[in-house]
Structure 1
Amino acid sequence: MLTWVDGRPAELLSVRDRGLAYGDGLFETIAVRSGEPRLLERHLTRLAGGCARLSIPLELEQVRAELLAFAAAIGEGVAKLILTRGDGLRGYAPPMPAQPRRILQAAPVPAYPAANTCEGVRLYPCSTRLAEQPLLAGLKHLNRLEQVMARAEWSDAACAEGLMRDTQGRVVEGVYSNLFLVSNGLLITPALTRCGVAGVMRAELLACAAEQDVPHEVRDVSFDELLAADEVLLCNSQYGIWPVRALAAHDWPVGPLTRKLQGFVGHLAGC
């Protein structure tokens, strides 16, 4: 597996890296097709916003150049970018000045079943709840233990994803996906002001909805509202859009708006 550290092929990493010690950093998981990183500008925009909120210095053009070169080197697959605050001494206080570290890792194209896109998927109702952390909400930071615990809840291959809610029971997202629902022609996605990850495909779907005059809202979603929805779908930069057909004993059809949105964005994930 090809790995670059600070722009050069490498296999070793300092044990003093704050990403390892404290999860002090961010990451982006980018689909690469024909040597090109998909949705690159949305990934870079999210990364820059996260660095600003965490006060991690970012040389954006350097990161862009490295991502383009790395994508060209791997051709087809996934490029995972990890940006940490760099090395530090013992203790939480961040080094001043920080010297961020850039890690790029290559992986093969994910082998998701075609049926997930065509026929839809079943969700597992995770009992793990997302803590409300407005300071970190929306960021793709390196602290992912809630998702690790949620994903460990099921091993049944019949469930392709899990549903995650916050501590008040509000619907938030999938374990590694964002969630939308359709009610009376209105496209709705949960607000991510308390917790959750603001995915790049979620942003793309919202932009497509605006361009195509599809009525849409970003707001809190209750579990009962989810169950009463006409359509439910998941999105992710690696697979595009999966219709959701079931959650426990509840079923949904694969609806017309879901199919329309798949047509708009499917190519962006290399589907």
Structure 2
Amino acid sequence: MTSSSRYFAGNRRVDALPDHDRGLSYGDGLFETMRASRGDVPWWPAHWQRLQRGAQVLGLLLPDENLVRAEGKRLLESGDGVLKLIVTRGAGGRGYAAPTDAEPHWILSKHPLPPPAPASGLALRWCDTRLALQPALAGIKHCNRLEQVLARSEWDDPTVHEGLLRSTDGDVVSATAANVFVLHKGAWKTPLLDRCGIAGVCREWAVAALDASQARLAVTEVEAADAVFLCNAVRGILPVARLDARSWRPHPQVMELQRLLAAEHPAFGTEVS
């Protein structure tokens, strides 16, 4: 076991996950990827609340929150970085039927911060891979991310920073690893995530900060927007400068939102001038 990862079965620390883990076998689990600052996660309550919502949907047990947070702080060692938590249903042998008495398995891992976004803004592309409609799993951060894996494998161009995903019905859902917001005539809008996609923690904050509406979003609405940004809880607010042939100048409302986030979340305070 490396110093950057810790494994648990129920409330017991173990050297490795037990055999027949359902997260590995079937993606039967949830995860959270969290920005840490000075040894803690400022948005911990929001991450844990989303984890609880996902656990209710999947019908799986969660470990004790106080224990998880304490172990996370111990792993972070008062530093900054990214803390990832994976919780699976536990062991269950072969077959899809979920055991009724399984104790959850969980992994905590510490990772370095991603490189900073370019000062000029992100360059995006449209992905060919589409997200399947599955309302039962919409919004939660479950462990099956194969659609995102396929979408991200579509390009290997370092000048392209992210790809936008559509559903099989053609409406815009998100980026491969972030949520998307667009500005039209002074009003902000973000895709409604009732059929697919992940409801991000930073998205939830931005919806409230901007009083943004949630609705079906067409490709043409993104391309005709006055401003576009992506967001996630690790990288914050990410202005978009280009989407294929369409380009945008820095927008004052996006820069103001970055300042608001810096005041809300200490990890982003050093990233805004």
TM-score (norm 2): 0.91
Amino acid at match of 2:249: P
- The corresponding residue for 1:17 is 21
Question: What aligned pairs does 1:163-242 form with structure 2 within 5 A after superposition?
Answer: 163-210=164-211, 216-242=212-238
Q: Aligned residue for 2:95?
A: 91
The match for 1:64 is 69
Q: Aligned match of 1:81 in 85, 101, 110?
A: 85
CA displacement, residues 11-67 of structure 1 (integer Å, 9 cap, x when unaligned): 522231000000000000011121111311110110011001111112333333333
Determine which of 235, 238, 257 is the counterpart of 1:261: 257
Deviation of 1:173 after TM superposition, in Å, equals 0.4
- The question of whether the paired residues in 2 share the 8 Å contact of 1:121 and 1:159 is answered with yes
- Structure-2 change in CA distance of 1:74 and 1:83 (3 Å): farther
Query: How much has 1:169 moved relative to structure 2?
Result: 1.1
The gaps in structure 1 that reach 5 residues or longer are: 211-215
Contact 2:130 2:165 (8 Å CA) reproduced: yes
CA drift at 1:8: 6.5
**1:99, 1:181 → 2: CA distance?**
42
Alignment partner for residue 58 of structure 2, among 51, 54, 59?
Answer: 54
Which residue pairs with 1:126 in the alignment? 127
Partner of 1:45: 49
Q: Deviations 1:109-134 (Å, cap 9, x if unpaired)?
A: 22234x2xx32111021000000010
**Contact preservation (8 Å) 2:182, 2:226:** yes
- Structure 2 CA distance, aligned partners of 1:266 and 1:148? 30
- Asked if structure 1 preserves the Cα contact closer than 8 Å seen for 2:172 and 2:217, the reply is yes
Alignment check: 8 A CA contact 1:230 1:253 kept: no
Shift, 1:246, TM fit: 1.0
Displacement of 1:70 in angstroms is: 3.1
Going from structure 1 to structure 2, the CA distance change for 1:74 and 1:5 (only over 3 Å counts) comes to farther
* Structure 2 alignment gaps of length 5 or more: none
Equivalent AA in structure 1 for residue 174 of structure 2:
E
Distance 2:101 2:12 in 1: 23
SS of the residue 1:135 aligns to: helix
Alignment partners' CA distance in 2, 1:207 and 1:69:
32
1:213 corresponds to: none
TM-score normalized with structure 1 length: 0.91
Is contact 2:40–2:78 with CA below 8 Å preserved after alignment? Answer: no
The answer to whether 1:35 aligns with 2:56 is: no
Instruction: Determine the C-alpha separation between the residues in 1 that align with 2:82 and 2:238.
Output: 19
AA aligned opposite 1:221: L
Moved more, 1-10 or 20-29: 1-10
**What is the rounded CA distance, in whole Å, between the counterparts of 2:142 and 2:130 in structure 1?**
17
Distance of 2:41 and 2:155 partners within structure 1: 32
Q: After the TM superposition, which segments of 4 or more aligned residues of structure 1 sit over 6 Å from their partners?
A: none
> SS state of the match for residue 136, structure 2?
coil
Task: Identify which of 116, 138, 142 aligns with 1:112.
Answer: 116
Structure 2 partner of 1:161: 162
Deviation of 1:78 after TM superposition, in Å, equals: 1.1
Distance of 1:60 and 1:137 partners within structure 2: 24
Tell me what 1:136 maps to: 137
1:158 Cα deviation after fit: 0.6
Instruction: Percent identity, please.
Output: 43
Q: Provide the rounded CA distance (Å) in 2 between the counterparts of 1:188 and 1:70.
A: 38
Cα offset for 1:253? 2.1
Contact 2:17–2:105 (8 Å) recurs in 1 = no
Instruction: Give 1:64's aligned amino acid.
Output: R
Q: Secondary structure at the match of 1:19?
A: helix
Q: How many residues align?
A: 262
Report deviation, 1:74: 6.0
